[in-house]
A and B are shown apart, each in its own frame.
Chain A
Amino acid sequence: AQTVTQSQPEMSVQEAETVTLSCTYDTSESDYYLFWYKQPPSRQMILVIRQEAYKQQNATENRFSVNFQKAAKSFSLKISDSQLGDAAMYFCAYLYNNNDMRFGAGTRLTVKP
Chain B
Amino acid sequence: GAGVSQSPSNKVTEKGKDVELRCDPISGHTALYWYRQSLGQGLEFLIYFQGNSAPDKSGLPSDRFSAERTGGSVSTLTIQRTQQEDSAVYLCASSYRLGGRQPQHFGDGTRLSIL
Interface residues of B (CB under 8 A from A): 31, 33, 35, 40-45, 48, 56, 59, 89, 91, 93, 98-101, 103-109, 111
Contacts and interface: CB of A to CB of B under 8 A. Distances in A.
A101 B42 contact: no
Contact of B33 (A6, A42, A44, A101): A101
Nearest to A95: B100
Given A44-B108, A45-B91, A103 B103 contact: no
A4 interface: yes
A56 interface: no
B89 A43 contact: yes
Contacts of B89: 43
Interface of A: 4, 6, 32-33, 37, 42-47, 50, 52, 91, 93, 95, 98-106
A47 B42 contact: no
Nearest to A96: B100
Given A43-B111, A101-B35, A103-B35, 6 more contacts: A6-B42, A43-B108, A99-B31, A100-B56, A101-B104, A103-B43
Contact of A52 (B33, B44, B100, B111): B100
Contacts of B33: 99, 101
B56 A99 contact: yes
B108 A42 contact: yes
Contacts of A105: 40-42
Nearest to B9: A43
Question: Which of A4, A45, A47, A95: most chain B CB closer than 10 A?
Answer: A45
Contacts of A95: 100
Nearest to A92: B42
Contact of A45 (B40, B41, B93, B100): B93
